[in-house]
Chains A and B, each alone.
Chain A
Amino acid sequence: DIQMTQSPSSLSASLGDRVTITCRTSQAISHYLNWYQQKPGKAPKLLISGASSLQSGVPSRFSGSGAGTVFTLTISGLQPDDCATYYCQQSYTVPCTFGLGTKLQIK
């Protein structure tokens, strides 16, 4: 199975900050990496597909990059609505594993 290592597991940042979350995979997966946002008590929401493609309706302050084994999700200009847990997920092979999540809090 492909192991997904997300870092940090949690972080606290101020409104307007630039935040970066990293996802590392145990083997190369090309660009087959998605990012999801989950708020408490809610279902996950797809943010980014194929490592860097922003989904329709997702604010442009979200961006993704990376390929191979290292990927990043960046939020440029943190907003109150961004308080959530973020997960990476690989679609390269079954089982389609998720990272353990990064809980983002606003200072």
Chain B
Amino acid sequence: EVQLEESGGGLVQPGGSLRLSCAASGFIFSNYWMHWVRQAPGKGLVWISRISSDGSTTDYADSVKGRLSISRDNARNTLYLQIHSLKGEDTAVYYCARADVLRFLEWTLDVWGQGTTVTVSS
């Protein structure tokens, strides 16, 4: 079964750091670009980052650029998101998702994890 499972969320103080993990199973992880999407309580989905299948290319939303670092370990089938200088507005459910590339520019987020909750509060 194709699955993604996030972990690493929790309660963190403002200014702190956190590393989220996303364990992949049931597919060839190293063949896929991977994304992180977050959702603040009661709000919509916000894309925050993506990484190429080999890890050589990364992109970030402007709102988080400089505070986030996406990475992956294809040998361990695991995606990571390091978040620094956490702020209250980072409080959200963080989802990892697999990108299925159909054609150039035509891709979807076809597999999602269940999400991990990050709460930034003192």
Contacts and interface: CB of A to CB of B under 8 A. Distances in A.
B62 interface: yes
Interface residues of A, number: 28
B105 interface: yes
B45 A87 contact: yes
Interface stretch (B13-21, B23-31, B73-81, B109-117): B109-117
Contacts of A45: 112
Interface string B39-52: 00000111100100
Contacts of B102: 49-50
B108 interface: yes
A104 B45 CA distance: 16
A34 B37 CA distance: 15
Given A43-B113, A43-B114, A95 B62 contact: yes
Contacts of B44: 85, 87, 98-101
A56 to B, nearest CB: 10
Interface of B: 35, 37, 44-47, 50, 59, 61-62, 95, 102, 105-110, 112-115
20 contacts: A32-B105, A34-B108, A34-B109, A36-B109, A43-B113, A43-B114, A43-B115, A44-B37, A44-B109, A45-B112, A46-B108, A46-B110, A55-B110, A87-B44, A91-B106, A95-B61, A95-B62, A96-B47, A96-B50, A98-B44
